Amino acid sequence: MENGLTVRKKEEMSIMEKLRILSDAAKYDVSCSSSGVGRRGDGTGIGNTLAAGICHSFGADGRCISLLKILFTNECIYDCKYCINRKSNDVPRASFTPDEICELTIQFYRRNYIEGLFLSSGILYSPTYTMELIYEAVYKLRTLHRFQGYIHVKAIPGADPELVRQMGLLADRMSVNLELPTAEGLKQLAPNKHRRNILWPMRQIQQGITQNKNEIMVYKHAPSFVPAGQSTQMIVGATPESDYQIMTVAENLYKKFDLKRVYYSAFVSVNVDKSLPALPEGPPLLREHRLYQADWLLRFYGFEAGELLSEKKPNFNVLLDPKADWALRHLEQFPVEINRADYRIILRVPGIGVKSAQRIVRARRNGNLGFDDLKKIGVVLKRALYFITCNGRMMYPTKLEENYIARNLIDRKEKLPFDRDGMTYRQLSLFDDAACQW
Amino acid sequence: MEEYYLSCEDSLEGVFTGIYDAYLKKKPHEQIHICVGEEENYRLFAVYETCLPDAKKTASVARTIVREFGQEAYLSICRALASREMDKGEAVYKAVVAGFAMKNKKELMGNLSNPYIHRVFEMARFTANEAHYHVEFLRFKELENGILYAVIGPKNNVLTFIVPHFADRLPLENFVIHDEKRDIYAVHPAKKDWYLVCGDEETGRPERRCSDGERKYSELFSCFFHTIAIKERESYGLQRNMLPIRYREYMTEFQENEKYKK
Ligand code: SF4
């Protein structure tokens, strides 16, 4: 496959050129989060981690840049139809050496450009061979350079399980991409991949994490295994699944595989292929955004996928966020009394986020709250007023009628790319005030 | 009714001393006010007094706050006092007074319907948010002598809140963070404790010539910064919301920007 010429070319390629090619090839992976594990430095090397994660920059697309997100190599023996690196594409190819990856990580980290490394890879020769290369780079980083910052590594389906286990003892987070929401979708677009092979390492990592937790309870100093948990990603809009199907899959991943995060990636059409949709209007960003909002509702607001969507209503409302949409379909449960209602009920009110709900429950212990107090606390009254009372009174007399409220809740300013709640983009968005740790 | 204005130094010590002196007066608290720095609107019948920061009084007030209101309230108060807002002294003082009237004093910061406590909360949040932004966006440059050097220009006095984070993460590095608005430096010698230096006291300002490596890595990072964005999702508005413009003059990837713009 390789003649002498391409081999020589590879040796001469500068680190700048490699970085350009291998970050360009890695950019379609959404995750850049550095959250999930808080670890102080031990004083002998470089690095620590913060449980909430840290973004270090925001690119021209407004996405958070937290980790040095690169591929080890963009060579690949597979031919997934949606992927820029597929075997059949004629694109410039490059591979890092483990030392180059260490150098870039350490030098970027010292300058506070990044929180750590997110290393993924195309498949060179075989999954196990590729995983070995990744392992070598991460091993050097952790031991030789005593790097204690964040490391996220892709587990490559089909790689030797023992390697995956070893890797998990060095990485903070691991992920296996589901790629497409259903097995049929996968068969259509990724002929070399199989659902079973993807779920298998996911299960292995899950079991590793559970087992490790037990070990740590017994021996405090047992090395930790994937302490920041595992995540995955689904491409949205390349195959015909509904939002309901996608949310059900996500819910299962959270419940049955204990995933920390599921990412949704609006399909970006990089290859011309008759089995792919054309998407003349660009990637389905609105849809992706609604999925993230709903994902938030599953993880932090106590909702279930079946409450938000159903077979009969399989897709999210384009005009309303899923929480407002749910509330409007359940007007019989409102208004709720702010000074008495249960925390879980308050969480379901549009315009009240997790932080505000916590503050309400705390502040009302010191006396009854009025609408002014709610405003100070950070409640968006413009949205909440239809759903709440303070001391038995609504903010002002208003019709409790679905269409009327809907018209008032539709946020005309909610335009692409939905920066207002920041859910999709800033990993700290759960805290309306960025940070409590400083 | 006589009104007292205690004018304090713009520092934690200053305001804590002011609070101590205010309690010494044994007068109703409504008649006493704390102002920080120069008071602009002199009132005709008010009594003005200057409090000089006093270490003993400061320590006593700090101890009382921690004991009565707990660590959370103490931290919020420290953050509020790092604020650039001039009513911070009065807000903290009156929040403390309000706290003593509460049944459960440990809940001080939860009592947001009190206007002074809410004000402290607001100022503390502003400082904490700005500190967080600096932890994210601060950039070190490597100087010729190997020292990592960062310049910041925060609105609030966040320096002391962010240094411990960097000291923990870069224990083997010699680094300096310079707040150019206040002309203070945090200095961290490798493997040692960090300390603050004021601009005018500083001897031997480090030579600011960058190392050769610095050029290489800042170019590499700028390259990464530009390729990692997805063209089909480009949105400068979103970028601006997430990364306010005022930070960019200090950030390597934007300083290098020109070269990569096509
Ligand atoms: S395995 Fe598929 S998705 Fe991964 S790099 Fe190869 S072609 Fe792309």
Q: Nearest CA of chain B to the CA of A66: how many Å?
A: 9
pLDDT, residue A402, reads 85
Q: Are residues A326 and A259 in the same domain?
A: no
Give strand pairing partners of B13: none
Does residue A436 fall inside a structural domain? no
B241 contacts on A by Cβ (under 8 Å): 62, 419, 422
DSSP strand pairing (A64-65 vs A57-58): antiparallel
Note the helical H segments in A219-261. 243-257
- Place A146 in a pLDDT band, splitting at 50, 70 and 90: very high
CB A54 within 8 A of CB B136: yes
Please tell me the distance between residue A79's alpha carbon and the centre of ligand 1 in angstroms: 6
CB B95 within 8 A of CB B108: yes
Q: Are residues A334 and A206 in the same domain?
A: no
**Is the model's pLDDT at A101 over the cut of 90?**
yes
Digit-coded pLDDT (tens) for A165-176 = 999 999 999 999
Q: Whose CA is nearest to atom 4 of ligand 1?
A: A122
**Is the model's pLDDT at A422 over the cut of 90?**
no
Would you give the distance in Å from CA B244 to the centre of its chain? 18
**Is the model's pLDDT at A438 over the cut of 60?**
no
Q: Which residue intervals of chain B bear CATH 3.30.1300?
A: 147-208
Overall domain count for chain A = 2
Q: Which two tokens stand for residue A262?
A: 């599921």
**Percent of chain A predicted with pLDDT > 70:** 91
* Mean local confidence (pLDDT), A307-315: 94
Q: Are residues A95 and A204 in the same domain?
A: yes
A416 contacts on B by Cβ (under 8 Å): 235
* Mean local confidence (pLDDT), A198-219: 91
Q: Are residues A261 and A392 in the same domain?
A: no
What is residue B145's DSSP assignment?
T
> A364 in contact with B at a CB cutoff of 8 Å?
no
What is the rounded distance in angstroms from the CA atom of residue A111 to the CA atom of residue B20? 43
What is the rounded distance in angstroms from the CA atom of residue A157 to the CA atom of residue A196? 9
Q: Are residues A149 and A8 in the same domain?
A: yes
Q: How many residues does chain A have?
A: 438
Q: Are residues A74 and A196 in the same domain?
A: yes
**Residue in chain A nearest B131 by alpha carbon:** A438
pLDDT, residue B256, reads 65
* Mean local confidence (pLDDT), A117-131: 95
Digit-coded pLDDT (tens) for A237-292 = 999 999 999 999 999 999 999 999 999 999 988 888 888 888 888 889 889 989 99
Q: Are residues A57 and A138 in the same domain?
A: yes
- Place A423 in a pLDDT band, splitting at 50, 70 and 90: very low
Q: Cα Rg for chain B, rounded, in angstroms?
A: 22
Please report, for residues A74, A292, A416, B20, the alpha-carbon distance to residue A233 in angstroms, rounded to integers and kept in the order given: 19, 12, 22, 57
CB A266 within 8 A of CB A236: yes
pLDDT, residue B46, reads 84
pLDDT, residue A134, reads 96
Q: Is the CA virtual torsion A352, A353, A356, A361 positive or negative? A: positive
Tell me if B228 and A69 make a contact (CB, 8 A cut-off). Answer: yes
pLDDT, residue A416, reads 47
* Mean local confidence (pLDDT), B123-141: 95
Residue B247, amino acid: Y
**Is the model's pLDDT at B203 over the cut of 70?**
no
Q: What angle do helix axes B12-24 and B88-100 make, rounded to 10 degrees?
A: 50
pLDDT, residue B37, reads 79
Please tell me the distance between residue A122's alpha carbon and the centre of ligand 1 in angstroms: 6
Tell me if B107 and A419 make a contact (CB, 8 A cut-off). Answer: no
Interface of B with A in 6-25 (CB under 8 A): none
- Place B158 in a pLDDT band, splitting at 50, 70 and 90: very high
**Is the model's pLDDT at B194 over the cut of 70?**
yes
Of the candidates B127, B141, B220, the beta carbon closest to that of A19 is on B220
* Mean local confidence (pLDDT), B179-192: 95
B221 contacts on A by Cβ (under 8 Å): 108, 111, 113
> Kindly report the CA angle at A414 between A411 and A418, in degrees rounded to 5?
145
pLDDT, residue A412, reads 60
DSSP collapsed to 3 states, A119-131: EECCCCCCHHHHH
CA diameter of chain A? 82
Does residue A295 fall inside a structural domain? no
Q: How high is the ipTM of this complex? A: 0.91
A12 burial type by CB count under 10 A (0-12 exposed, 13-18 middle, 19+ buried): exposed
What is the rounded distance in angstroms from the CA atom of residue A361 to the CA atom of residue A363? 6
B229 contacts on A by Cβ (under 8 Å): 27, 59-61, 63
Does residue A54 fall inside a structural domain? yes
Would you give the distance in Å from CA A336 to the centre of its chain? 33
Q: Are residues A60 and A152 in the same domain?
A: yes
Tell me if B140 and A110 make a contact (CB, 8 A cut-off). Answer: yes
Digit-coded pLDDT (tens) for A152-161 = 999 999 999 9
Peptide bond preceding A417 in cis form (omega within 30 of 0): yes
**Percent of chain A predicted with pLDDT > 90:** 70
* Mean local confidence (pLDDT), A356-385: 91
Q: What is the mean pLDDT of chain A?
A: 88
**Residue in chain A nearest B136 by alpha carbon:** A56
Instruction: Say what the pTM is.
Output: 0.89
What is the rounded distance in angstroms from the CA atom of residue A326 to the CA atom of residue A408? 15
The set of protein residues with a Cβ atom below 6 angstroms from ligand 1 is: A 76, 78-80, 83, 85-86, 122-123
Comparing A403 with A1, the larger pLDDT belongs to A403
Residues 6+ apart with CB under 8 A from A172: A36, A37, A49, A116, A150, A151, A152, A226, A227, A228
Q: What range defines the domain where residue A334 resides?
A: 322-409
Top-confidence range, A31-35, A80-84, A428-432:
A80-84
> Kindly report the CA angle at B167 between B163 and B171, in degrees rounded to 5?
165
Does residue A314 fall inside a structural domain? no
Which one, of A219, A49, A232, lies nearest residue A211 by Cα? A219
Digit-coded pLDDT (tens) for A321-363 = 899 999 999 999 999 999 999 999 999 999 999 999 999 999 9
pLDDT, residue A220, reads 79
pLDDT, residue A3, reads 46
Q: Are residues A341 and A252 in the same domain?
A: no
Q: Which of A75, A79, A86 to mutate to test the pocket of ligand 1 (most atoms within 8 A of CB)?
A: A86
Given A230, A250, A269, the domain boundary residue is A269
Please report, for residues A12, A15, A89, A123, the alpha-carbon distance to residue A5 in angstroms, rounded to integers and kept in the order given: 11, 19, 19, 22
Tell me if B235 and A377 make a contact (CB, 8 A cut-off). Answer: no
Query: Under CATH, which architecture does the B147-208 domain have?
Result: 2-Layer Sandwich (3.30)
pLDDT, residue A144, reads 96
> A65 in contact with B at a CB cutoff of 8 Å?
yes
**Is the model's pLDDT at B121 over the cut of 60?**
yes
* Mean local confidence (pLDDT), B22-42: 87
**Is the model's pLDDT at A104 over the cut of 70?**
yes
B172 contacts on A by Cβ (under 8 Å): 44-46
* Mean local confidence (pLDDT), B114-127: 95
